[in-house]
């Protein structure tokens, strides 16, 4: 990864709120805002509407010049929450060009009752980004990486090395939940208060790409999931019988049963741990800020190897 980004994370959020679709008249200047969280992972809501859009789009452009685009990896990522802005715009342009055919699809017809139909589709999670899609596409768009790399949230620890103290946290650090389920980017460290810092945080979560201003990160340890052990158990299903027994016991107590992955996360999570994955300190990310950061909890904070800065205009 390169060390100088062409623009800051908060600027990327603003760009995603103002995608310009050529020829689109639904909004006076052809702008569409990415306003939804979209993930192919069923644990986070899935991508059913986007998947239907993909299937219909492939059908509609069959035999047309746009068909070649549907055979690319960039096209597919649009419907899994990891699309680059140029590819999202390309898909929106196809919908705009062939809107009469899309109107004829019952599931999409209601969108076209509104003049701003592309925005209506974006608001209803036909388009969107997930957390890793936001971070991964930022690295490409800001020229830190040459192409999109598919990673899980904690895989970013190989790029953003987990720190061992609050003092090491800088602007443009990555924040990764210790359970491996979410990643965010620090845009700016605004204040340092001994055992805590206050930051502006950029991410994609409920409501899509956003900047959360004034979010607190505290030192002191927290929950630790031994990720390698957890992933091995998840792949091997070696605890399947224990999981079945657990669900039987829960049902007997009138409690809701849980899937195998959720069971394993509970089984392996350790409390009040100071250091974890990659030797990184475990911090507590608060559910505060404006708008509120809704994804708080135990986190690692990683700093880019070699440091990271933003290009200043000449």
Q: Which pLDDT tens digit goes with each residue over 233-260?
A: 999 999 999 999 999 999 999 999 999 9
- Contact partners, residue 75, CB within 8 Å, separation at least 6: 69, 87, 90, 91
Query: Distance between CA atoms of 139 and 2, rounded to whole angstroms?
Result: 9
How far is Cα of residue 101 from the mean position of the Cα atoms in its chain? 31
Longest dimension (CA), the chain: 68
What is the reported pLDDT for 27? Answer: 79
What is the reported pLDDT for 306? Answer: 86
Domains of the chain, residue spans: 4-131, 227-268
82 vs 29 pLDDT, higher one: 82
Q: Which pLDDT tens digit goes with each residue over 165-192?
A: 999 999 999 999 999 999 999 999 999 9
Pairing of strands 4-5, 309-310: parallel
Give the mean pLDDT of the chain: 96
Tokens of 180: 């491996």
Query: Distance between CA atoms of 297 and 303, rounded to whole angstroms?
Result: 19
Q: What is the mean pLDDT of residues 279-308?
A: 97
Q: How big is the CA angle at 261 (ends 256 and 263), to the nearest 5 degrees?
A: 50
Q: What is the dihedral of CA 164, 169, 172, 174, to 10 degrees?
A: 30
Query: Distance between CA atoms of 155 and 159, rounded to whole angstroms?
Result: 8
Cβ atoms of 163 and 76 within 8 Å: the answer is no
What is the reported pLDDT for 314? Answer: 60
Tokens of 122: 């974006």
| Cβ count within 10 A of residue 73 | 11
Q: Comparing C-alpha atoms, which of 185, 205, 184, 186 is closest to residue 197?
A: 186
Query: Distance between CA atoms of 130 and 82, rounded to whole angstroms?
Result: 7
What is the reported pLDDT for 28? Answer: 79
Tokens of 87: 């590819």
Cβ atoms of 185 and 135 within 8 Å: the answer is yes
pTM of the predicted protein model: 0.96
Q: Count Cα atoms within 13 angstroms, Cβ side, for 68.
A: 1
Query: Distance between CA atoms of 138 and 91, rounded to whole angstroms?
Result: 19
Omega of the bond leading into 291 within 30 degrees of 0 (cis): yes
Q: Which pLDDT tens digit goes with each residue over 107-154?
A: 999 999 999 999 999 999 999 999 999 999 999 999 999 999 999 999
Residue 24 vs residues 11, 17, 18, 118, 225: alpha-carbon distances, Å: 23, 16, 13, 9, 47
Omega of the bond leading into 251 within 30 degrees of 0 (cis): no
Under DSSP, the state recorded for 146 is S
């Amino acid at each position: 990864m390169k060390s100088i980004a062409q623009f800051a994370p908060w600027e990327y959020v603003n760009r995603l709120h103002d995608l310009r679709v050529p020829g689109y008249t639904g909004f006076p200047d052809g702008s569409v805002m990415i306003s939804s969280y979209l993930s192919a992972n069923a644990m986070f809501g899935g991508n059913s509407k986007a998947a239907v859009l993909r299937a219909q789009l492939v059908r509609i452009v069959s035999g047309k010049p746009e068909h070649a685009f549907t055979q690319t990896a960039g096209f597919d990522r649009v419907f899994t929450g990891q699309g680059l802005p140029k590819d999202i715009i390309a898909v929106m342009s196809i919908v705009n060009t062939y809107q009469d055919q899309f109107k004829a699809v019952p599931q999409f017809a209601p969108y076209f009752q509104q003049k701003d139909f592309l925005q209506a589709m974006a608001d209803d999670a036909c388009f969107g980004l997930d957390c890793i899609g936001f971070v991964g596409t930022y690295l490409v768009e800001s020229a830190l990486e040459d192409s999109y790399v598919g990673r899980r949230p904690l895989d970013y620890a190989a790029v953003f090395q987990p720190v061992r103290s609050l003092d090491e946290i800088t602007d443009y650090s990555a924040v990764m939940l210790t359970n491996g389920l979410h990643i965010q980017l620090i845009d700016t460290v605004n204040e340092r208060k001994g055992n805590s810092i206050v930051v502006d945080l950029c991410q994609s979560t409920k409501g899509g790409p956003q900047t959360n201003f004034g979010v607190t990160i505290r030192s002191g340890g927290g929950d630790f999931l031994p990720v390698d052990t957890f992933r091995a158990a998840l792949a091997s299903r070696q605890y399947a019988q224990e999981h079945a027994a657990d669900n039987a016991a829960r049902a007997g107590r009138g409690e809701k049963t849980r899937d195998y992955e959720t069971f394993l996360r509970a089984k392996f999570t350790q409390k009040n741990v100071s250091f974890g994955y990659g030797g990184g300190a475990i911090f507590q990310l608060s559910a505060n800020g404006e708008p509120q950061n809704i994804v708080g909890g135990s986190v690692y904070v990683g700093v880019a190897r070699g440091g990271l800065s933003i290009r200043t205009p000449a």
